[in-house]
Every structure is written in C-alpha cells, then in structure tokens.
Amino acid sequence: MKLLILTQKVDKNDAILGFFHNWVKALSFKFENVIVIALGVGDYDLPGNVKVFSLGKEKKECRFQYIIRLYKHIWQQRKNYDAVFVHMNVEYVLTVGWLWKLLGKKITLWYNHKHGGIKLYLSKFFVSKVFHTSPFACPARFKKSITMPVGIDTDLFKRDSEDKIIKPTLLSIGRISPVKNIDILIEAMEVLDKQKFDFLLNIYGDAPIRDREYLDKLKTSTNKLIADQKIIFHPPVVNFKTPAVYSQHDLFINLTASGSFDKTILEAMSCQNLVLICNQSLGDDLPEQFLFEENNIQDLVEKIKQILSLSDIEQKKYKEQFRQYVINNHSLNLLSDKIKINLENL
C-alpha cells in the first residue's frame, strides 16, 4: 500500500514539530512508498521510499502559491498513493478533499483538539476516519472516530542517566502559551517559596509571536524567583535532544487541560520521569497522587510536595511503571501499525 501524508512541517530540528519526522520514518517501514507534502520543509533524514515536497512556507511565499503547488503535487503524484493521512491541518481536507474523492482515494484525518469548529465538521463529508488520542478531544464523539496511541519513540525517549539529582528539580517543556497555563505553575512556585520549600523549576520553550506578551508577563511576574535561581527560562530544545533534558529532572509538570493530549507527558513517562498533570485523558491510568485538580494551585502545591517526598524505592517503582505503560499503550510502533491497519480496512 502507498501512502500520502500531509502535514504542517517536516524538520527534525524543529522544537515543536520535530517529532513528526520520526512518525514519517516509522510509517515508511509499514508502507511500500510514502509521499509527504508539508507546508514547510527543513532538515530531514528519511528512508529511500519517502519523497518529501514543500509548499514553500520556508521561502515565505504567498498562500495562493501554496494552493497551486498543493494541487500540482496532488495531481502529479496521483498514481503513487492509495490513501491519504492528513495530520491536524483540516484545511488540506477542505481544499483538496473533493479531488481525492474523485480519484477514489480514502482520506483519514488526525485531529486532537478539544474544540473543532465549522472546518472540522465540514471535513467529515470527505474523510473516512478521524484519529484522535484524547477521549475529551472534539472528534471523540464522531461515529468515524478512532482512538489511537500517542506515538512515542520509546527507543529515543529513555533515561540516559541514573545519576542522583540532589536538588528537587521540576520541569516544564513545550510551547509557552496561555493554554499551557504556565502562569498557574509559577503561582504554585511562589507558594512553595513562601513555605521555604527547596526547588528548581526549569522551563524550556518559547512562545509563538501571538503569545509573546504572555511570556513577557510571566518573566516580569517572577523576577524574584528568577533572581534567586528558583525558576530558569531556557530556549526550546529540538525534539530528539529532549530525552537528555527529561533525564536531568525529578518531576515533570504539565498543566494542559483535558481535551488535548500533550505528548510531552508521555515522553517524560517514557524517560522514567515522575509526572504531575491535570489532564483527565490519563485519569484512569495514573495513580491519584500524580493528578491534581485543574486550576487548583493549592492542590498542585500539595501534590508536588507529596510526590517529592516519596522514598527512592517508591519513586523507582513508579518510574518503571510509567515507562512500561508508554511502551504497552502509546509507542510509535503501535501507532504506525494501527494507522496501517485502519487504512487497509477502509
């Protein structure tokens, strides 16, 4: 079977979307040929049965040129793919779905946000299946929806050091935006500081242009903790280098609300981090002490102290359990197998 993939970006060095490079590589082992059309393309290193085409965003070309180039690739490559996998960008489905239908191509869409909007609902007329990971994601209620593994490369995401970390180190990693609720995390750190609790919080990531003001306010509001080196803001790290970052920390904290299944949670678990989250997508799979009530700063503070007070034996037990959970339920190999099975059965 031959597969066409449409995505936002193919670039192994991208801090946010670099993970998709390994998705393409994994899928290339499951399909005869893989064609990838991306809005923008950077560095990649993919097997010989993969062809990558860019719509030109890295050259800052106009939207009209993107569309013309999209139709050109879709038409010229029409005999080289049997099915279509669109990652997140509903616009691809709405723009080209009619042509794929005429060509007899089966269309699948990966969409994992809590809110969908009119574009997502219109896309249902073209797609055969909608893939999602969170039971709280908008497509979860569709008849065409299928729950999928998150797709963590467990060979990459593994702890590379067993060195004991002396100071309690907390980690937040990913895009810095209001939806990530980093302001709530910082408020919790202020409470811990007033309680004379010893900690270091490392925040890795950057804000998109639209959220620059949010990031500036975060840094301004926490001047004292920054000066005391209790909170340190770091630039983003490319995806394939993040396992080393996870391995240097005791506890990974993620405040993304239920509805979107943030893959960094499972990356951290695969690297044998303890995790603390409010996302109920994992509510049935994590012990209660690793879940806090959304937007409840006091609960977040108490859970941080409880987790860090666990004995070394208890911490080791949970870390091993977390990694095994990811391997059994959310590995990239499981994801690529399930995508192939679903496409073959359309």
Q: Are residues 125 and 259 in the same domain?
A: no
Asked, for residue 116, whether it belongs to a domain, the answer is: yes
In a domain, 161, yes or no: no
Domains: count for the chain: 2
Q: Is 164 among the domain residues? A: no
Are 172 and 204 a contacting pair, CB within 8 Å? yes
For the CA atoms of 287, 293, 298, 299, what is the dihedral angle to 10 degrees?
A: -10
Asked whether residue 162 is domain-assigned, the answer is no
Q: Are residues 322 and 177 in the same domain?
A: yes
Contact 6, 23 (CB under 8 A): no
Residue 156 domain-assigned (yes or no): no
Parent domain of 8 = 2-151+331-344
Per-residue pLDDT in tens (0 to 9) along the chain, 346 residues: 999 999 999 999 999 999 999 999 999 999 999 999 999 999 999 999 999 999 998 877 778 899 999 999 999 999 999 999 999 999 999 999 999 999 999 999 999 888 888 999 999 999 999 999 988 889 888 999 999 999 999 999 998 765 556 568 999 999 999 999 999 999 999 999 999 999 999 999 999 999 999 999 999 999 999 999 999 999 999 999 999 999 999 899 999 987 677 899 999 999 999 999 998 888 889 999 999 999 999 999 999 999 999 999 999 999 999 999 999 999 999 999 999 999 999 9
Can you tell me the distance from the alpha carbon of 192 to that of 127, in angstroms, rounded to the nearest whole number?
A: 49
Say which residues have a Cβ less than 8 Å from residue 20's Cβ, sequence separation at least 6.
7, 9, 10, 87
296 and 189 housed in the same domain: yes
- If asked whether residues 219 and 259 sit together in one domain, one would say yes
Whether residue 337 is found in the same domain as residue 293: no
CATH number at residue 12: 3.40.50.11930
Does residue 239 sit in the same domain as residue 128? no
- The DSSP-derived string for 254-280 is E-PPTTS--HHHHHHHHTT-EEEE--G
What's the pTM value of the predicted model, to 2 decimals?
A: 0.93
Question: Which residues are registered as beta bridge partners of 131?
Answer: 110, 146
**In this structure, are 256 and 276 located in the same domain?**
yes
Same domain, 195 and 322: yes
Q: Is 218 part of any domain?
A: yes
- Does residue 257 sit in the same domain as residue 202? yes
β-pairing, 129-132 with 200-204?
Answer: unpaired
Other beta carbons within 10 Å of 154: 21
Which residue bears the tokens 């080791």?
A: 316
Q: Are residues 202 and 338 in the same domain?
A: no
The CATH number of the domain holding residue 262 is 3.40.50.2000
Residues 179 and 141 in one domain: no
Host H or E run for residue 38 = strand 33-41
